[in-house]
Amino acid sequence: DVDLVVSGGGSVQAGGSLRLSCAASDDVSNRYCAAWFRQVPGKEREGVALINVDDEITYAESVKGRFTISKDNAKHTTYLQMHNLKPEDTAVYYCAADVFDYGLSALYKFWGQGTQVTVSS
């Protein structure tokens, strides 16, 4: 199995920034799609951003212009840089990976642990 380890997360004030990292156990991140999701209680897990093996990027409309997904192939790591955070961004954030591109649907095979992001008004 592919091990995905998430770091980052925390509490910030509205308008602040935060960067999440997701490191893979080997070089599969060079060949896999990498995606970020978030979930709040009582809601379905929501796709936030995706970068596929062709470096094509997709964002949810709610984060477009504020969040940036990127990857460092040498470090086997994907990042989610979040700017101008809003209270509605508060959620548990997850990273996911798969050889298949599922877009922003939560169908990926490998998942990291969740990390809490809290944005205060």
Q: What pLDDT, in 10s, does the model give residues 29-53? A: 568 899 999 999 999 999 999 999 8
Residue-level pLDDT at 111: 96
Task: Look at residue 1 in the predicted model and tell me its pLDDT.
Answer: 77
Residues with Cβ within 8 Å of residue 27, at least 6 apart in sequence: 73, 76
What pLDDT shows up at residue 29? 56
Question: In 1-121, which ranges are E strands?
Answer: 4-7, 10-13, 18-24, 33-39, 46-51, 57-59, 67-72, 77-82, 91-98, 110-111, 115-120
Using 70 as the pLDDT threshold, list the residues of the chain that sit under it: 27-30
In whole angstroms, how far apart are CA 62 and each of 3, 65, 94? 29, 9, 17
